Chain A
Amino acid sequence: MGVGVCWVARLSAGQVSVLTAMDDSITFLHSSDWQLGMMRRFLGPDGQARWGQARLDAVARIGEVAAATGAAFVVVTGDVFEHNQVERQTILRACEALKRIPVPVVLLPGNHDALEPGSLWTSAQWQAHQPEQVTVLTGTEPLEIAPGVEIVGAPWRSRRPLSDPAAPGYADLTPAEPGTTRILLAHGQLTSLSGGMSDVPTIDQAALEAAVADGRLQYVGLGDRHSTTRVTDRIWFSGTQEVTSPEEDAPGNVLKVTVGAGEIEVEPVRVGAWHMVDHRVELFDEESLTALEDWFAELPEKERTYVRLAGDGSLALPLLSRLDAMIDAQGEVFASVERWAKFWTVRPAPDAADLDALQLSGPARAAMEELRQALAGGDEGAGAALSLMHRLARDAG
């Protein structure tokens, strides 16, 4: 059981209401944005393979969490697959991972795997291998997943919806029967969180809250945002099961949701195993270089960690060589270590002492001096040339 790690410490909003009466409550798991079949350029072939597998492993771990927590079912709110046209292997492996979830699973088509023409969900490949306990929400009719528990959903029918993508799920609903727990599954950005940058229609948060307030909905499970995010007590983004980008705040969780009469408890449970980290350093001397080395050394689970380095400063040629060597070596240890091209401005800073140390004379010395001056004059190419010449001279000497 690799699910022992259940930490919520990193959540920005880890509210947990304690249920007083657990008798007629229902527990289920909420996940989203599995994006199976996703590729990450920065990981390299090996990293990509392992990370891809990790995403499937995390799905399997959701099954373990379900078993461990006694969840009645699992809902996945959109973007199960990266694309409608993923390769067969991805579909079949996804089916295998889903089979390992011992409870019913309800999948919602999202923007990546919309229920559009040619959709994966209507393909022979999916339908031939769809596990029995898995249901794909293709309509807005309520689905009674368990006695007294109704699931309504708003599947994406096109990658370019014309209006609030959640609205069709609850627009025509009347308040739930007493004793019935109604769960809305929806996918999309919230108007409040998208910052107005979304180019597709967003979900109207106020309307959602109103539907929750007047008892039409008891829980709203949202997808699309990869970070676990509490919108209100009853409206949550579960976030992706496994990190996909260093920008994500709290990825790698599944939400354990327990809904009782008038009360709710939501608990993020970690299922992801990977880390993607941005790190900013300023390099100007040996000490700063050593500090970077130490930082690398302290990171745990290096083989499942992607580091994106932003760097600034300037280094003497030997230090620059050492930095190159360090990053090169760490690249082997970590899943991937990348200089963040946009924010990487570490320059070579050759000083006379460096050159003297090489004991060069004559034309070689003159050539190096010329390159050094060119670099000082802002010629970037000269920096690389100078570093190379420095290395060659050192090795030749």
Chain B
Amino acid sequence: MRLLSLALRDFRGVRDRIVRFPALGTTVVVGDNEVGKSSLVEAFGLVFDLPDDSKSTRIRDIQPVGQDVGPEVTVELTLGNRELSYTKRWLKNRSTELAVVEADGRRRSWTGREAHNEAERLFRQHVDPVLWQTLMVSQGQSLVLPTPADAEPLITAVTAESGTPVDGASMPLVTAVEHEYLRYWTRGGRATGDFARSEKAVATAELTAAQALKAMEEVQQDIRRAERLTLDLQDVTGRLTDHLTSVEELRERKKATDEILLRRDSVRHRAETARARLENHTRTRVERERLLDEAERFAKIDAELAERRSDAETVARTAVESVHAAEAALAEVVELKDARRTDVQEAERQVSELMDRAELDRLLGQQAELVDVRARIAAAGTVLDRIKVDDALVVALESARAEVVEARAALAAGVPEVSVRRLGAEPVELSGTGLDGGAREVPSELGFDESAEVLVSGELVVGVPGQVEVTVRAGGEAATLRSRVDEAVRREKDLLKKAGVKDVAAARELLRKADTATAELHEARRTERTLTTGGDPGERIAVLTARLGVGADDDVEAEEGGGKQPAVEGVPGQMSLFEEFASPHDTLDFEDFEVPVSAPDDLAGAQRALEEARDALAEVERLLGDAEFAAAQARKAADEDRSEAQQARARSELAGERLAAAVEALEAARDLLDDDAVSAAEAEATGEVEAVLEELAAVQEQADAAGADQIAGELTDALAVAARLQGERDTLRDALRTTEGRLEQSGRDGLATRRDLAELELAGVRAEHDSLQRRAEAARRVHETLSRHRAEAQTKYSEPLQSRIESLGRSVYGPSFRVWLDDDLAVAERELDGARLPVEALSTGAQEQLAIITRLAISHLVSTGESSVPVIFDDALGWSDKARLRDMGALLGRAGDHGQIIILTCMPDRYEYVPKATFIKLDA
């Protein structure tokens, strides 16, 4: 379709206007608001939609306000190869005219309704309504993205382009399949319509059938129960009948035996009376016997008790005597015990004294030894004091000796050694100074043939009186050597003097002695320490002597004086400890000291005496225990015997009273009836009883023979059984009646018919449901399969449109522009510079541009076919910036190369970049 011209007269605000459009290329219709741009689009729609006699409000709306005129529209267009001129006037002077020029030049025209119908037919034939709606963009709809999937020409075009076979015949099939599917299923895949109802019907029928079946099952159970009850009832009834017969028999027998029982009762009664009387007499006799017996018994008891009383009193007296005797014996033993204890104490004292004495002896010995040791200590000390030599001194001595020898040797070497020998009788005198004869003194005169060898450090004069005198003088050094020798000798002498010895050997001897004395001293001191370990024996001795009390002070002093002698002997000047106790009585000999004892003076003997004394004491103590026990026993026995005697007396008195009472009672009874009469009465009653019992035995025998006693019991039992059976029968009968009543009701209700009907109904709805289900499943299968294949195909279809949109879009957005289409061939997502976004997320401007690009792409795709339609934009690109406007303008211009593009706008500057566009200005 190409729109060639559009003429409006009296159409809304337009008085008269004609707009002509180039058949190819882009036309921009420019006009201010309200000038009637949109009326052009509206007029085109109305002229094909509404016949001239339409009363539609759409027609009313286009009549100019306040003018009673008929709006008129004339449109010139091509459809296929035809050219149409179509004029329509509504409301006033209504008319419709259609002129058609065929491709071959034939011209035809219609008027009125025919013209309308023919125009409509031709329009429908050539214009796909979906495509037309898609490409005609009314005011304010430019943002709406087209969803052209059902546009037949587009499908045809993309099909042709994609190489997928033409799907021309499938659209009605798709609709039919969809329709069939929706008969059974909702779009969500749930059962619906008759199918869903049928499911419910099945469920309902199943429920009903189940209930009816259950009711019938209950009936069957009731039948079985009733059968069982009937059998049971028959059984119980039979047993009951049999039983009742036996009950009757029992009744008869009972009647017969009742007479015997009556008689027996009478005899039994008499027997009881007789027996009662006998019991009475017997009681009297027994009572009398008791009274007699009691009197006798009490008399005997009384006698016995009186005797016992006198015995007891005798015993009590004896007991008192025994107590006295026992106490006397006890006193004796106590006395004896005291004596024995004194003995023991005496023995103990003796033993103790003897032991003290022994101890004292020992201590005195120890003391003597101590005195001796101390004397030795003192002696050793004295020796040591006297010896002045010690190790150092000896060493000094030895050194001094060595020096002397050394000095002498030096002298001998350094001075002339003169040997003088007397040869003749003439004395030879020797004198001089500084002479040394070595080991010998230089003699002042030589005997015959005596010689002297002298070292001369000074001057030696050898003279033979009167004959000769020779003087030898030593050299210069001799004096020095001489003085050294002298010095050494002097020092040695000093040392020897200091040591108090005459030579070194003596010093050494002395040193040895000192060592010996030291060892002795140490040994003595050790002994002293040992002896004094237990304290000073003197103190102990003092205590013991004091304790012994023998030897008064004199004795002790005498003893100590005796002991002192050896201690001080040989150590004069040594002050002894004992010297303080020295007394004039030191002549008293220790041997004279004696303890004046009467008992054996040896310890063992004394101890033996002690043991004996102790044994005697223990013996006496034992005797004392026995005596005490005997006394206690005697006292206790005496108490008991006294108490016994008292009791015996009390009992005796009581017995006397009882005896008196018994005798009194007996006498009273005898006054009433004497003893013989009592016995006679009892014998008579006994005879009576025996007679009656005999009679009773006879009757009982009869009763036993007839079984009289059992029959009553048997009858009772039998009646109980009968009652139970009757109860059982009644229960069964009731149960059976109830069950039969229920069954009767079931029969009245026709439960079997109901069940059959319910099952029939169920089978019916099930069959229907199965059938529906099969159809529903088939519909679903077809729908699913077809939808899947369509979706696959559409994916293929979408490729040409997609690539067209992308190629157009890249001229605006550059090479990174990409789009994705959904199943309806609508743009779903756009990618730019790698960012992929759903179209809803795009800016308004971008959405509008994408909508325009998509429409241009569609238009481009269908432009080659006869089905192409103009693309009409009523005011678009309102959201695009300058740069985009330029690119979009270029795009719109290029689109004009392939088809008719009509743009209606009040903003012509938006489209100033559209190349080769035809601008048509509308004036008010």
A residues in contact (CB < 8 Å) with B: 37-39, 41, 44-45, 48, 82-90, 116-118, 120, 123-125, 158-159, 358-367, 370-371, 381-382, 384-385, 387-389, 392-393, 395-397
Interface residues of B, CB < 8 Å — how many? 58
> Which among A83, A159, A364 is the interface contact of B753 at CB below 8 angstroms?
A83
Cβ contact within 8 Å between A388 and B782: yes
Cross-chain contact A362 with B748 (CB below 8 angstroms): no
Residue in chain B with minimal CB distance to A385: B781
Contact B222–A385 (Cβ < 8 Å): no
Question: CB-CB contacts of B193-218 with A at 8 A, as 1s and 0s?
Answer: 00000000000000000000000100
Complexed CA–CA distance, A86 and B751 (Å): 7
Give the residues in chain B near A382, CB-CB below 8 Å: 781
Among B748, B763, B778, find the residue whose CB has the most chain A CB atoms closer than 10 A: B778
Question: Which residues of chain A come closer than 8 Å to B764, judged between CB atoms?
Answer: 41, 44-45
- Which of B114-122, B223-231, B844-852 sits within the interface? B223-231
Residues on B with beta carbons closer than 8 Å to the beta carbon of A41 = 759-760, 763-764
Inter-chain pairs besides A39-B756, A363-B792, A381-B777, 4 sampled, C-beta below 8 Å:
A38-B756, A361-B166, A367-B785, A381-B778
Assembly CA distance A59 to B703 (angstroms): 77
Please pick, from A37, A86, A393, the residue contacting B173 in the complex, using a CB distance under 8 A.
A393
Q: 26 A–B contact pairs at CB < 8 A?
A: A41-B760, A83-B752, A83-B756, A85-B750, A85-B753, A86-B752, A87-B750, A117-B229, A118-B226, A120-B747, A158-B227, A360-B169, A361-B170, A362-B164, A362-B170, A362-B789, A363-B793, A364-B170, A366-B792, A370-B785, A370-B789, A371-B782, A381-B777, A381-B781, A389-B782, A396-B175
Tell me the nearest residue of chain A to B180, going by C-beta: A392
CB closest residue in chain B, given A38? B756
Interface-located stretch among B15-23, B401-409, B738-746: B738-746
When the two chains form their complex, are residues A86 and B785 in contact, meaning their CB atoms are under 8 A apart?
A: no
- Which chain B residues lie closer than 8 Å to A384 at the CB level? 774-775, 777-778, 781
Contact mask B751-781 → A, CB, 8 Å, 1/0? 1111011011001100000000011011101
Q: Within residues 773 to 807 of chain B, which ones have a CB less than 8 A from any CB in chain A?
A: 774-775, 777-779, 781-782, 785-786, 788-790, 792-793
Closest CB in chain B relative to A321 CB, distance in Å: 13
A367–B789 Cα gap in the complex (Å)? 6
Across the interface, do A117 and B789 meet the contact criterion of CB distance under 8 Å? no
Contacts of A86 in B (CB 8 A): 750, 752-753
B466 within 8 A of A: no
B residues in contact with A393, CB < 8 Å = 173, 176
Which B249-264 residues have C-beta < 8 A from chain A? Answer: none
Q: B165 interface residue, CB < 8 Å from A?
A: yes
Using A384-B781, A385-B785 as known contacts, say yes or no to A117 and B175 having CB atoms under 8 A apart: no
User: Residue B219 at the A interface, CB < 8 A?
Assistant: yes
Q: A82-B752, A117-B230 are in contact. Are A362 and B165 (CB under 8 A)?
A: yes
How close is A44's CB to chain B, nearest CB, in angstroms? 7
In angstroms, Cα B742 to Cα A84, docked, is 13
A385-B782, A396-B176 known; A118 vs B740 contact (CB < 8 Å): yes
Encode contact with A along B307-320: 1 for CB under 8 Å, 0 otherwise.
Answer: 00000000000000
Inter-chain CA distance A271–B779, complex, in Å, is: 48
Q: How far is the CB of A199 from chain B (nearest CB, A)?
A: 16
How far in angstroms is the closest Cβ of chain B from A241? 19
Which residues of A sit under 8 angstroms from B790, Cβ to Cβ?
363
Cα–Cα distance between A85 and B750 once the two chains are bound (Å):
5
The answer on a CB contact under 8 Å between B778 and A84 is no
Flag whether B749 is at the interface (Cβ < 8 A): yes
Task: Report Cα–Cα, A124/B748, bound state, in Å.
Answer: 9
Does A118 lie within 8 Å of B777, measured CB to CB?
Answer: no
B362 shortest CB reach to chain A, Å: 136
Alpha-carbon separation in the docked complex, A273 to B594 (Å): 176
Whole-angstrom distance between the Cβ of B496 and the nearest chain A Cβ: 154
Instruction: Tell yes or no: B706 within 8 A of A by CB.
Output: no
Could you tell me the distance in whole angstroms from the C-beta of A336 to the nearest C-beta in chain B? Answer: 11
- What is the 8 Å Cβ interface bit string for chain B, positions 127-164, against chain A (1 contact, 0 not)? 00000000000000000000000000000000100001
Contacts of A395 in B (CB 8 A): 176
- Chain A residues with CB under 8 Å of B489's CB are none
Give the CA-CA distance A88 to B748 in the complex, in Å: 6
Q: Does B167 contact A (CB under 8 A)?
A: yes
- The answer, yes or no, to whether B596 is at the interface (CB within 8 Å) is no
**Bound CA span A392–B778, Å:** 12
Q: B174 interface residue, CB < 8 Å from A?
A: yes
Could you tell me which B residues sit within 8 Å of A by CB distance? 159, 164-170, 172-177, 180, 216, 219, 222-223, 226-227, 229-230, 736, 739-740, 742-744, 746-754, 756-757, 759-760, 763-764, 774-775, 777-779, 781-782, 785-786, 788-790, 792-793
Which residues of the partner chain B approach A38 to less than 8 Å between Cβ atoms? Answer: 756
| Chain A residues in 8 Å Cβ range of B216 | 85
Chain B residue, CB-CB nearest to A82: B752
Q: Tell me the smallest distance from the CB of A378 to a CB of chain B, in Å.
A: 15
Partner of B747, one of A84, A360, A385: A84
Answer whether A362 and B166 are a contact pair too, CB < 8 Å, given A41-B759, A117-B227, A392-B180. Answer: yes
Expressed in whole angstroms, the Cα–Cα distance for A145 and B275 within the complex equals: 84
Q: Which of A85, A88, A158, A361 contacts B168 (CB 8 A)?
A: A361
Q: How far is the CB of A209 from chain B (nearest CB, A)?
A: 32
Query: Do B753 and A116 have beta carbons less than 8 Å apart?
Result: no
Q: Known: A117-B740, A363-B792, A385-B782. Contact between A39 and B759, CB under 8 A?
A: yes
Interface centre among A85, A387, A393, A395 (most CB of B within 10 A): A85
Instruction: Out of A48, A87, A120, A364, name the residue touching B789 (CB < 8 Å).
Output: A364
Return A158 CB to nearest CB of chain B, in Å. 6
Interchain CB contact under 8 A, A117 and B793: no
Cα–Cα, bound, A84→B747 (Å): 7
Give chain A nearest CB distance to B147 CB in angstroms.
19
B169 touches A359 (CB 8 A): yes
Q: Assess whether B173 is in contact with A118, with CB atoms less than 8 Å apart.
A: no
Quote the shortest CB–CB distance from A157 to chain B (angstroms).
9
Chain B residues, CB < 8 A from A158: 227
Select one of A83, A89, A363 contacting B167, CB under 8 A: A363
- With a CB–CB cut-off of 8 A, which chain A residues contact B750? 85-90
Question: Interface centre among B159, B229, B779, by most A CB within 10 Å?
Answer: B779
Separation of A392 and B177 alpha carbons in the complex (Å): 7
Q: For A389, list chain B residues within 8 Å (CB).
A: 173, 177, 782, 785-786
In the A-B complex, the 7 residue pairs with the closest CB atoms: A118-B743, A87-B750, A117-B226, A362-B167, A83-B752, A385-B781, A363-B789
Report chain B residues within 8 Å CB of A83: 752-753, 756
**Chain B residues within an 8 Å CB radius of A360:** 169-170, 173
With both chains docked as a complex, state the minimum distance between the C-beta of A161 and any C-beta of chain B, in angstroms: 11
A residues less than 8 Å from B166 (CB atoms): 361-362
Q: Which chain A positions have C-beta within 8 A of B176?
A: 392-393, 395-396
A37's nearest neighbour on chain B, judged by CB, is: B753
